[in-house]
Chain A
Amino acid sequence: GENVEQHPSTLSVQEGDSAVIKCTYSDSASNYFPWYKQELGKRPQLIIDIRSNVGEKKDQRIAVTLNKTAKHFSLHITETQPEDSAVYFCAAGSGGSYIPTFGRGTSLIVHP
């Protein structure tokens, strides 16, 4: 089955800096890569996703890049704000009966 590794486990940045979280996956059949944000005590919420037919996707301050050859994908957050502080999870899966495998999460701390 799919195995997703996520790094780093904790990331501390100053407000205004950029943050990058990286994930690798093992199953070459995976073609859908969502990122979820989970604030303390709240449900995971989708913030951005990318499908394997594109290499990059951007939504305001958030972008995701995908390298299918190397089997890795990354989340980039620019101009970080204190409200970006949360745990971020990457996931990978394939179409059909989509059952994503999640990474262990990255705790992002943005210091004002």
Chain B
Amino acid sequence: ETGVTQSPTHLIKTRGQQVTLRCSSQSGHNTVSWYQQALGQGPQFIFQYYREEENGRGNFPPRFSGLQFPNYSSELNVNALELEDSALYLCASSFGSFSGANVLTFGAGSRLTVL
């Protein structure tokens, strides 16, 4: 069984650029959630994908978008980067169902720095 893997681990961008972050979910999981974790803060929910459909969205602007693929991997795209987008972006997978809450398994994150 493989865990959640994210790429790239670190990246540096400049204001106005675009970035794509990738996540491979844990084997057997069909739901992917993305979180933004600023330094010294708790993870903030961006959005969740279940069976390739967006299943919930946090308080983030439309320039944050995502995709989930048939193999349940996922991408997070951020357009028009701003300095405050600098953070650790965490992907978490789970086995989504409607029978109850499900444990999140986190990846190691992608550290984005915007200059």
Q: Which residues of A contact B (CB under 8 A)?
A: 4, 6, 31-32, 34, 36, 42-46, 49, 51, 89, 93-105
Give the distance in Å from the alpha carbon of A12 to the alpha carbon of B100 in the complex.
Answer: 36
A101 to B103, CA, bound (A): 13
Q: Which of A42, A102, A104 contacts B108 (CB 8 A)?
A: A42
* A51 CB to nearest B CB, Å: 7
Known contacts A97-B48, A97-B50, A97-B96: does B101 contact A89 (CB below 8 Å)? no
B55 interfacial contact with A, CB 8 Å: yes
11 further A-B contacts with Cβ under 8 Å, apart from A43-B4, A97-B55, are: A4-B42, A32-B101, A49-B103, A51-B101, A94-B101, A95-B98, A97-B56, A98-B100, A98-B101, A99-B33, A99-B56
B66 within 8 A of A: no
Q: Please tell me if the beta carbons of B108 and A100 are within 8 angstroms of each other in the complex.
A: no
- Residues facing A in B56-107 (CB within 8 A) are 56, 58, 90, 94, 96, 98-107
**Chain B residues whose CB sits within 8 angstroms of the CB of A4 once the complex forms:** 42
Do B107 and A99 have beta carbons less than 8 Å apart? no
- Closest partner residue, chain A, to B102 (CB atom): A98
Query: Is B98 a contact of A96 with CB atoms below 8 Å?
Result: yes
Most chain B beta-carbon contacts within 10 A, residue among A51, A93, A102 = A102
B2 interface hit (Cβ, 8 Å): no
Q: Chain A contacts of B105 at CB under 8 A?
A: 46
Q: Are A43 and B106 in contact (CB under 8 A)?
A: yes
In angstroms, how far is the closest chain A Cβ from the Cβ of B101?
A: 3
Return chain B residues, CB-CB under 8 Å to A105.
40-42
Residue of A nearest to B40 (CB): A105
Closest Cβ of chain A to B30, distance in Å, is: 12
Chain B residues near A42: list those with CB within 8 A: 108
Q: List 24 A-B contacts (CB under 8 A).
A: A4-B42, A6-B42, A32-B100, A32-B101, A43-B108, A44-B106, A45-B106, A49-B103, A51-B100, A94-B101, A95-B99, A95-B100, A96-B100, A97-B48, A97-B96, A97-B98, A98-B96, A98-B101, A98-B102, A99-B45, A99-B58, A100-B104, A105-B40, A105-B41
